[in-house]
Amino acid sequence: MSLQIYLNDRLVPKEQAVVSVFDHGLLYGDGVFEGIRSYDGLVFKLREHLVRLYESAHTLMLKVPMPIERLEAAVIETLQANRLRDAYIRLVVTRGTGDLGLDPRKCPTATVFIIADKIALYPSELYEKGLELMTCPTVRNHPEALNPQLKTLNYLNNILARIEATNAGFNEAILLNAQGYVTECTGENIFYVSGKRLVTPPPYVGILKGITRQSVMDLAAKSGFQVIETPFTRHDLYTADEVFVTGTAAEIVPVAKIDNRRIGSGNAGPVTKDFIRKFRELTRTEGVRYDPEGAPAGKAARV
């Protein structure tokens, strides 16, 4: 059976899941999105992801055409329609169809779609060996130009950084802000460990407030770490005991080298390994439970 996609309140086979070439999500990157995971029939931090989506949309004055409860149900229906127990969920709200001008007032209705598919996991050796990162020439978007706290469809800042890292033969890029402070990677937040201190940049330097980031900060505080949000430079990373990155897709990944400097032992450190274990445990015990074999119950299913 073809993958079922939720598109504007209906579940349709992926071949029919198409949007207009006049959609401003496509013409201008005008829209917002979320990447969400489900683990063994539990959607992890679903509410938090949806709240972030509605908040990004609010700042863009983009009206999500349904209440949060309906969108929450739509995510579950999409998982059930595809009988997915472990999934990566992409939820997108675009400004919708308009004309060729960029005026959002010409787009009367937002487009909403949800793709739930099997998760393509990163190779497991990456979680042992660690990533090789480089700081890239492209600086992170200035928060007063396009605030990285908004998870919008305009990801070219990140894509340029990713191209630079790939061209230079590195796994990932670290973006600095215009002042030279470390912000984040192209799709992950960054942390360093120094003794019993866990340090990560504050949102005002220009980062997305990651949901995995918050989970790790909570886990660390419970494990007796002093969790500090403060601006820092590359030097602090080079000289840290351990560095790791976090994100919904990647979860927690150790960092072996940055700009060719070995970090700590050069492999996954004990603190990172402990957080990986605790985070995996959390994702298997906490979340919105659904029956992957159950029939979708909501409005979408009736269409």
DSSP 152: B
Q: For residue 273, how many C-alpha atoms fall within 13 Å in the half-sphere facing its CB?
A: 8
217 near ligand PMP (CB under 6 A): no
| 209 in catalytic set | no
CB-closest chain residue to ligand PMP: 210
210 near ligand PMP (CB under 6 A): yes
User: Which residue is associated with the tokens 């400097």?
Assistant: 261
162 near ligand PMP (CB under 6 A): no
DSSP secondary structure of 5-49: EEETTEEEEGGG----TTBHHHHH--EEEEEEEEETTEETTHHHH
Least distance CB 107 / ligand PMP (angstroms) = 24
Cβ atoms of residues 164 and 173 within 8 Å? yes
Task: Give the CA-trace dihedral at 210, 186, 58, 203, to 10 degrees.
Answer: 50
Q: Which residues of 189-217 are buried (b: 16+ CB within 10 A; e: fewer)?
A: bbbbbeeeebbbbebebbbbebbbbebbb
Q: Per the residue annotation, which of 151, 209, 257, 299 is the catalytic one? A: 151
Cβ atoms of residues 187 and 201 within 8 Å? no
83 or 118: whose CB is closer to ligand PMP?
118
Judged by CB under 6 A, which of 24, 213, 257, 278 binds ligand PMP?
A: 213
Judged by CB under 6 A, which of 211, 217, 240, 263 binds ligand PMP?
A: 211
188 near ligand PMP (CB under 6 A): yes
Least distance CB 288 / ligand PMP (angstroms) = 16
Please tell me the distance from the alpha carbon of residue 206 to that of residue 178, in angstroms, as a whole number: 10
111 or 248: whose CB is closer to ligand PMP?
248
172 or 188: whose CB is closer to ligand PMP?
188
Least distance CB 235 / ligand PMP (angstroms) = 22
31 or 187: whose CB is closer to ligand PMP?
187
Residue 274 neighbours by CB under 8 Å, 6+ apart: 223
Residue 104 neighbours by CB under 8 Å, 6+ apart: 24, 30, 61, 62, 95, 98
Least distance CB 248 / ligand PMP (angstroms) = 3
Judged by CB under 6 A, which of 31, 98, 187, 206 binds ligand PMP?
A: 187
Judged by CB under 6 A, which of 133, 208, 243, 300 binds ligand PMP?
A: 208
Considering only residues 263 to 282 of the shown chain, the ones binding ligand PMP according to CB under 6 A are: none
200 near ligand PMP (CB under 6 A): no
Considering only residues 14 to 43 of the shown chain, the ones binding ligand PMP according to CB under 6 A are: 35
Cβ atoms of residues 34 and 88 within 8 Å? no
Residue in 187, 149, 11, 153 with CA at minimum distance from that of residue 1 = 11
Instruction: Please tell me the count of residues contacting ligand PMP according to CB under 6 A.
Output: 14
Cβ atoms of residues 241 and 194 within 8 Å? yes
Residues known to be catalytic: 151
Contacting positions for ligand PMP (CB under 6 A): 35, 158, 184, 187-189, 208, 210-213, 246-248
